[in-house]
């Protein structure tokens, strides 16, 4: 390899970057770089873990995209020997053979020239992800040597040598040896001594980064079948690699690259080591001299140098490997696999599904509160896991357990899971990704001590956790869901619509548990386009009267009209059900108070989930509309295929302006699709209102400018309950609850008092409901606002 070829690699490199940019759009892989502090562009040496062959081309692309810089990457020397044209191509994309005669001096010179260097310190692919040895030390299994070994120190040697040479350059400059600096600049192909000094003045930085794939799939694909056919069964390792990596590339898969804090190499040395090393500076005339000192070590000074550098490289190696493995992006598969391993290690090979699901839920919630655990973005979206809280499963977990590499180790026996001891068996190193994905995921998360601790604690907590404690966690998910939706719909593409909104009142759901709480709780459901802020003042009034209160947030609200556009009435109904489940953990019975669309949803909840619902107050139920923009829902009834009608209407306008009575809590823009969802909800109520059996009070403004007041009579007639009452409130306003017009709130409090009075003296005595083996505790003695 000649010097000219070594340096002239940019044209091919640029072409490959452009080609990869085009190819990435067509692949199923989603690359996300996590660089919270913006450290990624400033590194000199980039270190990554190694799980798949193709990932060796990704860092070069990302570094070039972030910095415009060019990278060198060490590759197997065999690749350069097979074909001359292919070897030229590898040189052209920055690759260097591992058996290059001057590998480290050459890479060091490249760093001095401003290029980046990429190294995979594990050496080869770690397919089983087992990087923690039996004694807790970081080490990996070598398939060649058939034993565990420490990670390579090449990156540490390179970094330390570059830093020493930089110090040597600065010392030569201080002595005024400008001729020597000029010779070094020419030898390194650096344009001037000033440029050389600028490079030498910058601390050498190592950027450790972790690559995490999610999900890993072992299912068959067309490429693996082709590979198996062409190899005629003689290369099972090749087939395995094609199968795994094609699933990563061709199916929807996340590739999270998490950048750890940069390591400044000069900080590795002890003060006395720095003094020792400075004595040798006068002997150094080139980068090669530094590497030869380490190789020969004939004199006492050279032996001292070798000892210092050996200690420094080992320390640096340990630092950056810990940083790499601490960057794992933890997902639900990690936590579920670690949980299975813990049960198996304890000899518990059969566990109730309810206990497992709740332990997994508790693991997620514990990890969310720990800033040292980097969670995959799917675990910041409660919809992906919140069914686990009461022992149900969730689609993500079900899909994982049914996948190849998992299902072989599990049995599903009624209400229990059965775990095979084979979960602990790595089997063939080269086939573990096909045969035991549970072990691969559990191994990958093992270096994250905090995550493993949370899993172990969650296992124990699932035995004793109270229903109220779980409810508080589910309420926390409601807050988290709002935050997640905000982040999604506050992006640039939604800015124009969001800028028109004036709803700045706090949209967070609220839960108030007063001192000496009453046994009936009140669930408040806001109206369409609004948020829990619409119910906040009334919620405080009820809490002052010792009613436990929750003001829930309907999905799609309190964020952006674009969020509402993506929601269906079933999403709103599910929000009400979750609110009911949360509040039910603190009271014996619930009264649901809903305004407008919230009133419709309250009645639907009472019709479909009658247990422990003591009554419903529905205000201004939108059975018929006066507002032109909302009457679209009724116009839609004339179409045979409503679902196809809505997109056609949206071609003309996605949103319709809707001036609100209370612009501080309401959206100003109504998605056209929402009118269709209102119609669908009304159609459901037509058939379900006769199933409402609890007491109901309907309140309606006489001259409501939005809702046609005559429609409330139809609602009243359809309700099946015999204990129902309709009261008309003299008002020309729609928001009679928010503005407390005509004693609206007093009517609701009166309804609550009547329900309390109707209960017998022994109503709601403390019961014996259990969750995870622990008796349900009563509400806390002190007032608590969550």
SS3 778: coil
Q: What is the pLDDT at residue 725?
A: 97
pLDDT of 784 over the 50 cut: no
Q: What is the pLDDT at residue 14?
A: 82
Cα distance between residue 56 and residue 72, in whole Å: 11
Cα distance between residue 733 and residue 712, in whole Å: 16
How many C-beta atoms surround the C-beta of residue 550 within 10 A?
30
For residues 18-29, give the mean pLDDT.
73
pLDDT digit string (tens) for 570-595?
Answer: 999 999 999 999 999 999 999 999 99
pLDDT of 442 over the 60 cut: yes
Cα distance between residue 418 and residue 343, in whole Å: 10
pLDDT digit string (tens) for 120-172?
Answer: 999 888 999 999 998 899 999 887 777 889 999 889 989 988 888 888 888 88
Residue pair 622/630 in contact by the 8 Å Cβ criterion: yes
Q: Which residue has the higher pLDDT, 309 or 417?
A: 417
Q: What is the pLDDT at residue 286?
A: 65
Q: What is the pLDDT at residue 780?
A: 37
Q: Angle 576-577-581 (CA atoms, 0-180°, nearest 5)?
A: 120
pLDDT digit string (tens) for 369-400?
Answer: 999 999 999 999 999 999 999 888 899 999 99
CA 760 to chain CA centroid, nearest Å: 49
Cα distance between residue 123 and residue 118, in whole Å: 12
Cα distance between residue 574 and residue 556, in whole Å: 12
- Of 292, 335, 569, the C-alpha closest to 457 is 335
Mean pLDDT, the chain, rounded, equals: 85
Model confidence, pTM: 0.88
Residue pair 533/506 in contact by the 8 Å Cβ criterion: yes
- Of 252, 187, 182, 186, the C-alpha closest to 216 is 252
pLDDT digit string (tens) for 682-693?
Answer: 999 999 999 999
- Of 273, 279, 305, 282, the C-alpha closest to 292 is 305
pLDDT digit string (tens) for 455-481?
Answer: 999 999 999 999 999 999 999 999 999
Q: What is the pLDDT at residue 765?
A: 44
Q: What is the pLDDT at residue 1?
A: 39
Let me know how many helices (H) and strands (E) the chain has, helices first.
31, 25
Cα distance between residue 74 and residue 123, in whole Å: 10
For residues 534-548, give the mean pLDDT.
97
pLDDT digit string (tens) for 78-116?
Answer: 878 877 888 888 888 888 888 888 888 899 999 999 999
- Of 91, 33, 97, the C-alpha closest to 61 is 33
pLDDT digit string (tens) for 218-264?
Answer: 765 554 445 444 444 545 566 677 777 777 776 788 999 999 999 88
- Of 603, 594, 615, the C-alpha closest to 527 is 594
Q: Which residue has the higher pLDDT, 353 or 314?
A: 353
When pLDDT is cut at 50, 70 and 90, the band that residue 748 belongs to is very high
pLDDT digit string (tens) for 558-575?
Answer: 999 999 999 999 999 999
What H or E segment, with its residue span, contains residue 81? helix 77-82
Q: What is the pLDDT at residue 280?
A: 59
Residue ranges per structural domain of the chain: 28-213+252-326, 332-464, 509-775
Q: Thinking of the domain 509-775, which architecture would CATH place it in? A: 3-Layer(aba) Sandwich (3.40)
pLDDT of 632 over the 90 cut: no
Q: What is the pLDDT at residue 293?
A: 55
Quick one: DSSP state of residue 260? P
Residue carrying structure tokens 């400059």: 173
How many C-beta atoms surround the C-beta of residue 78 within 10 A?
10
SS3 457: helix
For residues 765-776, give the mean pLDDT.
34
From the CA atom positions of the chain, what is the Rg in Å?
33
Q: Which residue has the higher pLDDT, 238 or 416?
A: 416
pLDDT of 775 over the 50 cut: no
Share of residues in the chain with pLDDT > 90 (%):
58
Length of the chain (residues): 786
Q: What is the pLDDT at residue 660?
A: 86
pLDDT digit string (tens) for 502-540?
Answer: 999 999 999 999 999 999 999 999 999 999 999 999 999
Share of residues in the chain with pLDDT > 70 (%):
83
Q: What is the DSSP string of 383-438?
A: GGTGGGGGT---HHHHHHHTSTTTGGGEEEETTEEEE-GGGG----TTTHHHH-HH
For residues 733-742, give the mean pLDDT.
97
Cα distance between residue 457 and residue 519, in whole Å: 33
pLDDT of 786 over the 50 cut: no
pLDDT of 77 over the 90 cut: no
Q: Which residue has the higher pLDDT, 194 or 766?
A: 194
How far is the CA of 508 from the CAs of 482, 536, 552, in angstroms?
A: 7, 10, 8
């Amino acid at each position: 390899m000649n010097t000219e070829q070594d340096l002239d690699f940019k044209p091919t490199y640029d072409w490959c970057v452009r080609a990869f940019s085009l190819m990435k759009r067509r692949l199923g892989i989603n690359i996300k770089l996590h660089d919270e502090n913006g450290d990624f562009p400033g590194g000199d040496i980039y270190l990554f873990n190694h799980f798949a062959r193709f990932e060796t081309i990704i860092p070069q692309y990302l570094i070039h995209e972030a910095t415009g810089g060019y990278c060198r990457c060490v590759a197997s020397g065999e690749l350069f020997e097979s074909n001359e044209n292919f070897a030229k191509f590898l040189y052209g994309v920055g690759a260097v053979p591992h058996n290059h005669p001057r590998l480290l001096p050459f890479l060091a010179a490249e760093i001095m020239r401003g290029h980046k260097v990429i190294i995979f310190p594990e050496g080869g692919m770690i397919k089983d992800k087992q990087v923690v040895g039996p004694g807790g030390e970081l080490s990996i299994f070598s398939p060649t040597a058939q034993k565990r070994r420490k990670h390579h120190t090449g990156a540490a040697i390179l970094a330390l040598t570059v830093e020493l040479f930089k110090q040597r350059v600065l010392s030569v400059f201080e002595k005024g040896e400008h001729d020597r600096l000029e010779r070094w600049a020419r030898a390194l192909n650096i344009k001037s001594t000033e440029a050389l000094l600028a490079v030498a003045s910058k601390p050498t930085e190592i950027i450790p980064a972790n690559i995490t794939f999610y999900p890993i799939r072992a299912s068959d694909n067309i490429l693996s079948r082709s590979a198996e056919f062409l190899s005629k069964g003689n290369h099972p390792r090749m087939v395995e690699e094609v199968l795994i990596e094609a699933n990563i590339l061709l199916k929807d898969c996340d590739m999270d690259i998490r950048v750890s804090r940069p390591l400044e190499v000069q900080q590795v040395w002890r003060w006395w080591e720095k003094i020792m090393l400075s004595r040798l500076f006068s002997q150094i005339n080139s980068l090669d001299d530094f590497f030869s000192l380490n190789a020969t070590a004939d004199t006492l000074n050279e032996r001292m140098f070798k000892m210092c550098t050996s200690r420094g490289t080992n320390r640096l190696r340990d630092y950056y490997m810990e940083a790499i493995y601490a960057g794992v992006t933890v997902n639900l598969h990690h936590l579920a696999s670690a949980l299975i391993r813990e049960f198996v290690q304890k000899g518990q090979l059969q566990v109730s599904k309810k206990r497992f699901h709740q332990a997994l839920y508790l693991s997620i919630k514990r990890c969310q509160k720990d800033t040292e655990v980097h969670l995959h973005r799917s675990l910041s979206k409660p919809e992906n896991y919140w069914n686990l809280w009461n022992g149900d499963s969730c689609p993500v977990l079900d899909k994982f357990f049914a996948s190849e590499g998992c299902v072989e180790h599990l049995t599903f026996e009624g209400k229990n899971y059965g775990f095979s001891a084979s979960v602990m068996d790595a089997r063939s190193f080269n086939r573990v990704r096909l045969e035991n994905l549970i072990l691969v995921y559990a191994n990958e998360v093992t270096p994250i001590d905090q995550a493993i601790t949370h899993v172990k604690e969650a296992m124990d907590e699932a035995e004793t956790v109270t229903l109220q404690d779980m409810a508080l966690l589910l309420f926390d998910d409601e807050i988290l869901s709002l935050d997640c939706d905000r982040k999604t719909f506050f992006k640039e593409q939604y800015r124009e619509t969001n800028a028109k909104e004036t709803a700045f009142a706090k949209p967070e759901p609220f839960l108030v548990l007063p001192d000496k709480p009453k046994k009936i709780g009140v669930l408040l459901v806001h109206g369409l386009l609004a948020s829990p802020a619409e119910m906040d003042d009334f919620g405080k009034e009820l809490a002052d009267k010792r009613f436990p209160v929750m003001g829930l947030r309907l999905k799609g609200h309190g964020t952006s009209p674009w969020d509402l556009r993506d929601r269906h009435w079933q999403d709103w109904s599910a929000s009400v059900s979750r609110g009911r489940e949360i509040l039910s953990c603190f009271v014996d019975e619930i009264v649901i108070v809903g305004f407008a669309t919230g009133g419709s949803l309250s009645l639907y909840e009472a019709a479909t989930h009658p247990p422990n619902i003591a009554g419903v107050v529905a205000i201004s139920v939108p059975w018929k509309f006066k507002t032109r923009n909302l009457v679209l829902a009724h116009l839609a009834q004339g179409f045979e295929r409503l679902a196809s009608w809505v997109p056609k209407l949206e071609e003309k306008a996605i949103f319709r302006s809707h001036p609100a009575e209370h612009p501080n809590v309401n959206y100003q823009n109504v998605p056209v699709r929402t009118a269709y969802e209102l119609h669908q909800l009304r159609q459901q109520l037509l058939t379900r209102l006769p199933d409402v059996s609890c007491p109901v009070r309907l309140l309606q403004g006489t001259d409501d400018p939005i809702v046609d007041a005559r429609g409330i009579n139809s609602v009243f007639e359809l309700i099946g309950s015999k204990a129902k009452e309709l009261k008309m409130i003299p008002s020309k306003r729609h928001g009679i609850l928010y503005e407390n017009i005509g004693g609206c709130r007093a009517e609701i409090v009166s309804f609550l008092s009547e329900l309390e009075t109707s209960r017998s003296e022994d109503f709601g005595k403390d019961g014996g409901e259990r969750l995870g083996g622990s008796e349900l505790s009563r509400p806390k003695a002190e007032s608590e606002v969550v």
